[in-house]
Structure 1
Amino acid sequence: RVLEEEITAYLEAGTYECTDKRNGYRNGYKPRTLKTRVGRLELMVPKDREGRFQTELFERYQRNEKALTLAIMEMYIQGVSTRKVKKITEELCGLEISRSQVSHLSKGLDEEIALWRSRPLKKAYPYLVVDARYEHIRSGFHVTSQGILLVVGISEDGHRELLGVWHADSENEQSWTDVFRELKERGLKGVEYVVSDDHSGLV
């Protein structure tokens, strides 16, 4: 139905409609396959005689699917179980996404985060701002409260950059030692000042 409405708007006339505004004529259909994360959809896309009609359905779907994928990842990060994510997408979107597909999407996110966390630090950061907070973290099939250690670097030109995020059972000296050792291995250099709260593991 969406495709029919698209070509009607493009031709400015419905099937067999007589109007001075008509911009062309229909010329049958052509098969197209729309690949989605929940399977393949076989569609019959209408054509016009001049061959100029191009549907926007595929582009719109890709944008919507990207938004849905980000929403699923956000729910998973916030500790929503794969079973509940599956139920939410079915009720709101009418899409049957399996628990394994939710886990697969989240695995892809984990890989991207791993690349970001291990990226080399090529600039000098004279100033570091370090802090810790507690968040609910998914660990296996459980969600627990864990410490999150953050380090923000300020470069010589004043640009702020989040250098890394780590989760730890506590904010002890060993946890922060591991953080700074990893930053040094990634190329951290030029540090002159470190700003932090009165964390027992830092002072």
Structure 2
Amino acid sequence: MKLDKDKLKELLAESDVKTTEDLQVFMRDMMKEVIETLYEGELEAHLGYKKHEPNVSDGNSRNGRSSKKVQSQMGEMELEVPRDRLSTFSPEIVKKRQTDISGIEAKVISMYAKGMSNRDIKEHIFDIYGHELSPETVSVITDKILPQAKEWQNRALEEIYAIVFMDGMVLKMRVDGAVRNVTIYFVIGISMEGHKSCLGLYLAETESAKYWLTVMNELKNRGVQDILIFAVDNLKGISEAITAAFPQSEIQKCVVHQIRNSLRFVPWKERKTVAADLKKIYAAATEEQARAELDAFAEKWDSKYPNISKSWRKEVVPIFCTVFRPK
């Protein structure tokens, strides 16, 4: 929609807009007029005739107006809402019992998700909008999303997934009244049709085969019968849990994490050389060649770093399960 700039200048001059506060009042008044005009249009559509025209509706007609206060991004606003005699008119632009048209609820939920306390949110909303929210009101707003979250967590999944990725992300979260770093593990599935979706989010206090087995069993309880490939980090106990729950699935370990773990205790001056020798293993064209390169690596470096070759011998098949699959 293109505005007539000359008319806008005239309106601003008539309203004596000189400061940002004046502009906010001007915008609030304009928004009020627009909403009330839309109200009138909705009522006309509901009754089937315009104001001052003959009444063609079946016993229903206009019945004055009622005042309603709402919170907007420009501050509090008082609207005049038209009524009908049969009380069947239900406006859509600002619904019945809706008292906030600023999107404050969405902002409260967003701030809550970022770890802010109820009192912090209350002060933040007041600083921005001048709108007073009690900590109890903040709790009511945030509690609204809990049923939706539970429904999403327990939704049914597909029977078969081609690949499931499991990885972690460090986020700040309020725990026991204090904000600290926690790791959220997310499970991403790719269906046989190639569609990607998040299957679940998990907060793990400890990494163990027992914990990961509960995650695997939850996936099965939600309808998953088979997963062709798991692509995972080298998390403690993850391989054992996958094998127990999905014995036919192949496990693809993350090469990047394996390399980082291998270089963790290598002095800086030798890291480049060790990394180059490790690349010969994971860049091999076949599993046999990879094992031969691993033997050569062990012969060269076991005297200094014996745990590296031991780790790669344990993980070489999971790391390369997709690379060396027969065509």
Query: Would you say same fold, with TM above 0.5?
Result: yes
Give how far 1:65 is off: 3.8
Confirm whether residue 117 of structure 1 aligns to residue 164 of structure 2.
no
**Corresponding residue of 1:100:** 136
DSSP 3-state at the match of 1:191: strand
- What is the 5 A alignment of 1:34-183? 43-45=79-81, 58=94, 65=101, 67-183=103-219
Give how far 1:175 is off: 2.2
Give me the whole-angstrom Cα distance separating, in 2, the residues matched to 1:132 and 1:7.
46
Q: Assess, with a 3 A threshold, how the Cα gap between structure 1 residues 181 and 136 changes in structure 2: closer, same or farther.
A: same
Q: Assess, with a 3 A threshold, how the Cα gap between structure 1 residues 56 and 34 changes in structure 2: closer, same or farther.
A: farther
Q: Which has the higher helix share?
A: 2
**Corresponding residue of 2:14:** none
Give how far 1:29 is off: 5.6
Give me the whole-angstrom Cα distance separating, in 1, the residues matched to 2:222 and 2:105.
31
Q: Is the 8 A contact 2:126 2:132 kept in 1?
A: yes
Give me the whole-angstrom Cα distance separating, in 2, the residues matched to 1:7 and 1:183.
48
Q: State the identity as a percent.
A: 26
Give me the whole-angstrom Cα distance separating, in 1, the residues matched to 2:36 and 2:113.
43
Higher RCO (Cα < 8 Å, 6 or more apart): 1
Confirm whether residue 195 of structure 1 aligns to residue 238 of structure 2.
no
Give how far 1:93 is off: 1.2
State the aligned residue count. Answer: 179
Unaligned runs of 5+ in 2: 1-28, 39-50, 53-61, 72-76, 84-90, 240-327
**Corresponding residue of 2:65:** 30
Q: Is the 8 A contact 1:4 1:46 kept in 2?
A: no
Give the greater-gyration-radius structure (CA).
2
RMSD of aligned C-alpha atoms?
3.6
DSSP 3-state at the match of 1:192: strand
DSSP 3-state at the match of 1:133: strand
Give me the whole-angstrom Cα distance separating, in 2, the residues matched to 1:130 and 1:120.
19
**Corresponding residue of 2:278:** none
Give how far 1:144 is off: 3.0
Unaligned runs of 5+ in 1: 11-23, 48-54
Q: Which has the higher strand share?
A: 1
Give me the whole-angstrom Cα distance separating, in 2, the residues matched to 1:106 and 1:8.
31
Aligned residue type for 2:189: G
Aligned residue type for 1:184: K
Q: Assess, with a 3 A threshold, how the Cα gap between structure 1 residues 151 and 95 changes in structure 2: closer, same or farther.
A: same
Give the TM-score of the pair, scaled to structure 2: 0.46
Give me the whole-angstrom Cα distance separating, in 2, the residues matched to 1:130 and 1:93.
41
